[in-house]
Amino acid sequence: MLTKRIIPCLDIKNGRTVKGVNFVNLRDAGNPVELAEIYANNGADELVFLDITATEQGRKTLIELVISVASAINIPFTVGGGISSVKDVEILLNSGADKVSINSAAVKNPELINDLAAKFGSQCIVVAIDAKQVAGEWLVHLVGGKVPTGIKLFDWAKEVAERGAGEILFTSMDHDGTKNGFANDALAVLSNLVNIPIIASGGAGNKQHFTDVFIDGKADAALAASVFHFKEIDIIDLKKELRNNKIPIRL
C-alpha cells in the first residue's frame, strides 16, 4: 500500500503566506520561505505553493519567491497560480518546482492538460479543483473561488484524469478554513471514480480529521494550512498518531 502524504500549503498574496475561511477574510500567516524550511525540516512529505491572486490579477506566478522557497527545501514542491501555458510550466520547473498545479486555465482550455502531460509527463501535472455545493450539486468554481462555472465536480475530475493529469487537488470551498473536517463523502466518490491520487484540501482542524480523510475519504494525501501555520498541529505528532491508527505514513 502506498504511504499517505501530509502536505502543508502556502497560500501566497503579495509575497506573504495568508489564510482565510471559505476563501475570504485572509490573514497573514508568515514568511513563506521561513515556513517552507520549517515544514521541510519537520516531517512534511511535500509542499504546495499557491499564488492565489495571480489569475485574478492577470499576472504570472512570483518566480523569485518560487526560487527562494525551492532553494530552502529538500522535499517535493508543487507550484500553482497564474499558469496558463507550456512556457509557464517550463519556467517554473526550471525555477525549482517539482510539479505544477493548474486550475482556471485547465477549465478554460482543457487541451492544456494533454499538452502539459505530453511535454513534461503526468507525474508533474496536478489539476486543482475548487468546488462547492450549490443546490445539492458539487460545482467547480474559478479565480480563487469567485467565478462559478456550472461544471460538475465529478464530471470534470473524470475528464482531467483521462486527459493525463497525474493528481487531483480537490478543495471543498464549503469546508475551507472551517476546521470541521474534510469533505469525506465527495472525496470518497472522487477516489473511486479516478485512478490517480487525490489530495484532500479544506477543513482540517484536528488530528482525527486526518485519520478520517484517509479512511473515510480514501484520500491519498491531505493538505492543510492554518493548523500548521499557527502551530495548532505538529506534523511529527500528527504522523505518529496516524501510524498508531494504522495509516501507512512515512515518519
Q: Average model confidence (pLDDT) for the chain?
A: 92
Position 55 scores a pLDDT of: 62
| Nearby residues of 152 by Cβ (< 8 Å), 6 or more positions away | 137, 138, 139, 140
State the total domains in the chain. Answer: 1
Residue 15 in domain: yes
Residue 150 in domain: yes
Position 70 scores a pLDDT of: 96
Residue 156 in domain: yes
Position 230 scores a pLDDT of: 86
Position 50 scores a pLDDT of: 86
Residue type, 30: G
Q: What is the DSSP letter of 166?
A: S
Position 27 scores a pLDDT of: 64
Residue 191 in domain: yes
Residue 160 in domain: yes
CATH number for position 196:
3.20.20.70
Catalytic residue list: 11, 130
Contact predicate 147/179, CB 8 Å: no
**Region class of 212: left (phi > 0), else alpha (psi between -120 and 50), else beta:** alpha
Position 145 scores a pLDDT of: 74
Q: How far apart are CA 187 and CA 179, in angstroms?
A: 16
Residue 251 in domain: no
Residue 135 in domain: yes
**Region class of 162: left (phi > 0), else alpha (psi between -120 and 50), else beta:** alpha
**DSSP H stretches of helix in the chain:** 32-41, 63-72, 86-94, 104-108, 111-120, 153-163, 184-193, 207-215, 226-229, 235-244
CA dihedral over 198, 135, 20, 93, signed as positive or negative: positive
Residue 250 in domain: no
Task: For residue range 2-49, list pLDDT tens digits in order.
Answer: 899 999 999 888 878 886 665 455 666 678 999 999 999 999 999 999
pLDDT-flagged residues of the chain (< 70): 1, 19-29, 52, 54-61, 144
Give the residues across from 243 on adjacent strands.
Answer: none
Provide the domain limits for residue 194. Answer: 5-244
